[in-house]
Structure 1
């Protein structure tokens, strides 16, 4: 079909990936000849991830981080209480009776011994009660701090993610059509789901857990140096190696995760494409083929995931080997310090468990660092799209608005080629003038530039050279939204949304009244069949209008274009996909709405454009002839050949049927 051939240029998807821009993806053939270029891991800066936080979010994050620090410091502080309690047990166990205790007479010995034992037990009970209060107080503080930590970070992340989703979707909606030619729509959908979820995970409670782990690390070592600096220094001998291994681990995991995201995005694009065209897939028995295609992309993600898991497990094994080796050294040296009377058992336990908690704090921070690194990588792709300034911005308020539109269109020496295939020139000096109120038909073979002409009028693209004017005003100087509001479009394949008939028509103009909707449907010959439906205008049309016939969908699309009351109406193969009966009804509707409008018609069925005021014949990107039907038939040029081909084809078909 002509419109599809021209509006969907070939795209080499292997060379095109929005997940991580500036990466070099080589084709299989090129890989066999040249060495692969090293891939660059792109991330935003740590602070840029939070670019969509407002002052309230910052307050929540600061308070959440403060509570995370208190939460993390709770366990090392509890080790101080634990060490003192251990010393109190040992002290009470080693207590002896006074030296003069044997001077008591034998009748009172039993009584005095029992009394002294009860006194010791009472004192120990008081101390244990005091330590129980300490533990309870620390536990209550940790409970409160942990709740504030998790809830505030989660709340702040949710608020930011809402803004990111809105900005991302808005940014995608404002891009020019040429941008979509070189960016896979299915992959964009995967990004808005997967990548934004990665950002949400990376800037939410995982950040709070990171602050908690860092606080545990510092608090543990502060307690360790305070209670026993000699033992702490010995344990610290392993820290540089442990820290170096953790850093390498985080970098390796981040690199593999980024590649894994890209692979899953490709697989997601395949799945979305197949599901969107499931009827075609089933009709041609392509289930197995599409399953294998999806499986192929998943295989790539699987291999990357295996490498990621192996690398992670090796790194974790090395890290824990170093940790346990430091524990063995700590127990040996701690025993030596106890025997030399420099340390008490409580000091050794306090130092050991504090350093233990601090070391585990470093280990537990790795998943948070990984999640944050993933968020930075995902944010690079998302923010790159958000920051991409479209060449044709439909949301901009800039541009001129005409006081009165007559509808005169003119192309002056227009040259154009699609962004996705810049080497192939579609229009090669197009010149055409359409006076206000005229109906002009564009005819020609596939790929000659007819649909491209219609797209340029809507300013989906800008010409490389030349100008397009409406009432003498260059459309580049007009406000883009205003330009499209004065133009009505009916395409070959009408696109309806899974909502009611009224809402689909209202999509043409938001403030349209029900009376205007009914008027438009009458002009489009759609009112009668709508009123026969059980819910009339509130009937849900289904996915892509699946509950309606082709002719019904086309007439609703015409009504949607008419509610704008456009001065310029573009009909791109509006009847070519319909059966004869539906075509006659739709064609009657189109004939009814021509009065007072400038209409540009693209048609393959030349019988539908014989009554046009002007027929322009395209060949190789230029108009080679124009005039009425009779005039062009006399010239015996391009139009004459097209008519003869269709006429002879129709006659042959009738003879075969006869």
Structure 2
């Protein structure tokens, strides 16, 4: 009985009436249960990345970006295919030197043939330089535009999240995520994508030229290709998870540093400097 009830002379409520009310108050509500489930929610399993996640980036590209990507990738194919043609010109020049050394051609024929091959070298170099410059410029512009659209979509989705999403552990700093991952996406769909297409074009065009000129030697060299692919796949399989883990660690460290700097007075008042430093390390 409270002091007010004693002063008013009100009779105390029966115990039978108080017991259900007390049990109802002690019973956790649905909101408390939901909040406790959120608080005690276990970390979600990491989603495995795949090649479809890479191509999913290009859904943020508009029509102009698609045109720029088409020009850039076509230029990459042309630049990669032009390099084996230089080996044909170089082989012809070597044969011309052998012919003049063995006396099969005179000096005038040798000079005219070499001048003709030098022009081929110059034309191929100018063509590769111009096409490569235009292709690199187009793919860099397209990648920048696509990354900008991706960052805007990420920020729009982030601002629509509930408050409890930002209190979860392991999310990392949104600023770090959008900056670090955005730069990596930009590199992956710009220079690296162009280099990949150029390398694939160079690979197939080189073997086409080799099989057309000297097919026996080309078949012998092709035996080492599976070993090269195996080594590259093993390196990628080891490096990709490490890079992803490094990004998460740096992101969590950035969150901890940001929280520590914003609450520096509280940390200094409770003498928790050493604990914060240990957590950061």
Please state if 1:41 is matched with 2:53: no
User: Structure 1 residues 216 and 59, CA, compared in 2 at 3 Å: closer, same or farther?
Assistant: same
Q: What is the CA deviation profile of residues 92-134 of structure 1, one whole-angstrom value per residue up to 9, with x for unaligned ones?
A: 11116xxxxxxxxxxxxxxxxxxxxxx9333222222111111
User: What is the match of residue 170 of structure 1?
Assistant: 156
Is the contact made by 1:165 and 1:192 (CA closer than 8 Å) also made in structure 2?
A: yes
> Going by fraction, where is strand more abundant, 1 or 2?
1
CA distance in 2, matches of 1:145, 1:201: 20
CA distance in 1, matches of 2:269, 2:193: 50
Is the contact made by 1:186 and 1:272 (CA closer than 8 Å) also made in structure 2?
A: no
**Equivalent of residue 262 in structure 2, options 267, 276, 279:** 276
CA distance in 2, matches of 1:199, 1:95: 59
User: What is the match of residue 134 of structure 2?
Assistant: 148
Q: What is the CA deviation profile of residues 48-95 of structure 1, one whole-angstrom value per residue up to 9, with x for unaligned ones?
A: 121101111111111100111111122211000000110010001111
Q: What is the CA deviation profile of residues 439-466 of structure 1, one whole-angstrom value per residue up to 9, with x for unaligned ones?
A: xxxxxxxxxxxxxxxxxxxxxxxxxxxx
CA distance in 1, matches of 2:231, 2:260: 44
User: Structure 1 residues 197 and 279, CA, compared in 2 at 3 Å: closer, same or farther?
Assistant: farther
User: What is the match of residue 175 of structure 2?
Assistant: 189
**Equivalent of residue 112 in structure 2, options 114, 123, 126:** 126
**Equivalent of residue 64 in structure 1, options 72, 78, 97:** 72
> Going by fraction, where is helix more abundant, 1 or 2?
2
CA distance in 2, matches of 1:43, 1:275: 37
CA distance in 2, matches of 1:288, 1:60: 53
CA distance in 1, matches of 2:172, 2:264: 15
Unaligned runs of 5+ in 1: 1-5, 24-39, 97-118, 296-658
Runs of 4+ off more than 6 Å: none
User: What is the match of residue 22 of structure 1?
Assistant: 45
User: What is the match of residue 28 of structure 2?
Assistant: none
CA distance in 1, matches of 2:110, 2:267: 80
Q: CA deviation at 1:144?
A: 0.9
User: What is the match of residue 76 of structure 1?
Assistant: 84
**Equivalent of residue 237 in structure 1, options 220, 223, 237:** 223
User: What is the match of residue 52 of structure 1?
Assistant: 60
**Equivalent of residue 277 in structure 2, options 258, 283, 291:** 291
CA distance in 2, matches of 1:146, 1:182: 46
Q: CA RMSD in A?
A: 2.6
CA distance in 2, matches of 1:215, 1:274: 51
User: Structure 1 residues 123 and 12, CA, compared in 2 at 3 Å: closer, same or farther?
Assistant: farther
Q: CA deviation at 1:157?
A: 0.9
CA distance in 2, matches of 1:163, 1:176: 23
CA distance in 2, matches of 1:280, 1:130: 79
The higher radius of gyration belongs to: 1
Q: What is the CA deviation profile of residues 252-290 of structure 1, one whole-angstrom value per residue up to 9, with x for unaligned ones?
A: 222222222222222222222223223444555544433
CA distance in 1, matches of 2:269, 2:131: 59
Using CA pairs under 8 Å that are at least 6 residues apart, name the structure with larger relative contact order, 1 or 2.
Answer: 2
User: What is the match of residue 85 of structure 1?
Assistant: 93
TM-score w.r.t. structure 2 length?
Answer: 0.78
User: Structure 1 residues 278 and 148, CA, compared in 2 at 3 Å: closer, same or farther?
Assistant: farther
Unaligned runs of 5+ in 2: 1-31
